[in-house]
Chain A
């Protein structure tokens, strides 16, 4: 792991600069570590961890049989956790990926075309920013029963791009007037080329901040929806685990392992993402770094 990051560090100057920031390094190590353990763990499962009643229910953690205990419907929580982490991360990353690309495109088009296109796209963006997300998501996912993870991803993507689009638009508007863009124009570069070869590379850190921010948002939103019982039904996510823990009132039965497991996992993931995000912010705005937020 460390050796891999070391190699990556030597490879490129930018990655080097990023990984020298301890917050980014810590966040990425935690994030990658959790996903690797979960991938390995879910392959090692000797049985289908989703099946009900495989084990006696509500057993406290014991080594080595059930390291995290079993839940109220007789599933081993450790293996359930591996699958949940993978599914939640999958949702987070997919939504962040597509949402950021979409937001980036809308922001770029908006800033570069100006006129009617710009004001139309900006208005849509503003509206999407004003609308309270969780209630709308509840409305949509309660009417379209979310069964698969892909449905969940799709719904979240629709609501994920507005913030990215707004920051990218503002950033593009300020970059557009810089000297190097004029130089590119004078040297005969086309609009398309300028946008993708001159402007976008200069916003990589903003894109990164938005990517991890969207990932953070998507994982939280999924957890919230699933906690209300609106999550994917064919598989399990971290929010789903919490829903079952709540549904079988594990708090008041003293089954702390049933609710603490998903909460700790989500918290660790969110803190890791947050660390990466403020780290990226420090690299992008060196002024901030000096203040040591």
Chain B
């Protein structure tokens, strides 16, 4: 357990260290580089004084060790610096505006695909040779290998361009103003999130289905199922009370393992639909060479996913008493 915690700390430290070291390995004065970029975009009037002033302001005239301690204290305070393309907003403000949308997309789609995937997986695992199983399996296989955002592009083309059932971009209609939570506003939000959520659900549902199917197949081989059958229990009761219960446990913990993948997928899907979450923010930051925002978003994602994995690891032995750390 201590090993897990240590690994967690090391991951976070390594991520922040990379963030500190790599920009400093690149030759050239960062202030001048940024100013050159801004001048390329047509902003004028940067004097030599300003360069010196900024160099002092960002602490780049101090030695590396002081720079590093400064950087770490700012980081621990949650201060990620100023955004270049959304100046004068700070990075944490920009991220704060985007984060809820990504969380909303992720949670909705993870819950939907988890439920559908487990139900389908249980049915298929229970009746392995049924027509339904034969029809679903190859489809799930193909859909599961295609990256989220590629599915998103196809969905956008068919259901937003060819048949305009759903909006193509954004998270809410232009012109709808925030009057507090109203039914119309919520409906509008949901309407805008249908396609992004659908693309994540379609490409991740197969994974849940396959693992549930394997899990059920495993459980069905156990002695207590045999006993239940011999006792003459109803099939539906065996499935519900014995097989599902035991098969669901690993599926719950499986959530932690897929959270990273789902988040990465959600990021790219947002780009397709110009959905104003972290992915869209990241895409725009990359296009505008807004390094503070890129680093802030990436660090936040690494932090979130690592924490989620750690929490799941800690919860694992509590949910499933058969698993104990350090007793192998």
Interfacial residues, chain A to chain B (CB-CB below 8 A)? 123, 126-127, 130-136, 138-140, 142-144, 216, 220, 223-224, 227-230, 242, 245-246, 251-252, 254, 256, 259-260, 263, 266-267, 270-271, 274, 291, 293
Q: Does B163 contact A (CB under 8 A)?
A: no
Q: Does B19 contact A (CB under 8 A)?
A: yes
A140–B291 CA distance with the chains assembled, in angstroms? 11
Residue contact A228 to B306, C-beta cutoff 8 Å:
no
Residue contact B18 to A140, C-beta cutoff 8 Å:
yes
A206 to chain B, nearest CB (A): 19
Question: Interface residue count for B (Cβ, 8 Å)?
Answer: 52
B259 to chain A, nearest CB (A): 9
Chain A residues closer than 8 Å to B156, beta-carbon distance = 251
A50–B88 CA distance with the chains assembled, in angstroms? 40
Q: Apart from A123-B3, A216-B145, what 10 extra A-B contacts exist at CB < 8 Å?
A: A123-B6, A126-B7, A138-B294, A142-B286, A142-B291, A142-B294, A246-B271, A251-B157, A263-B146, A266-B147
Chain B residues closer than 8 Å to A139, beta-carbon distance = 15, 18-19, 22, 294-295, 298-299
Residue interface mask B143-171, A partner, CB < 8 A = 1: 00111011001101100110000001000
B116 to chain A, nearest CB (A): 20
Q: Does B34 contact A (CB under 8 A)?
A: no
Select from chain A the residue with minimum beta-carbon distance to B309: A130
Residue contact A143 to B302, C-beta cutoff 8 Å:
no
Q: Which of B17-50 contact A (CB under 8 A)?
A: 18-19, 22-23, 26
Residue contact A263 to B301, C-beta cutoff 8 Å:
no
Residue in contact with B271 in the complex, picked from A220, A227, A252, A254, CB distance below 8 Å: A227
Show 28 residue pairs from A and B whose CB-CB distance is below 8 angstroms, ordered by the A residue.
A126-B7, A127-B10, A130-B11, A132-B263, A132-B264, A132-B305, A132-B306, A133-B260, A134-B260, A138-B298, A140-B22, A143-B22, A143-B26, A220-B147, A227-B271, A228-B271, A228-B283, A229-B283, A229-B286, A246-B272, A251-B160, A251-B168, A251-B272, A256-B157, A270-B145, A270-B146, A271-B142, A274-B145
Take A134-B264, A139-B295, A227-B149 as given contacts and tell me if A144 and B161 are in contact as well, using a CB distance cutoff of 8 Å.
no
Chain A residues closer than 8 Å to B283, beta-carbon distance = 228-229
Residue in contact with A228 in the complex, picked from B161, B286, B295, B302, CB distance below 8 Å: B286
B52 to chain A, nearest CB (A): 25
Residue contact B153 to A259, C-beta cutoff 8 Å:
yes
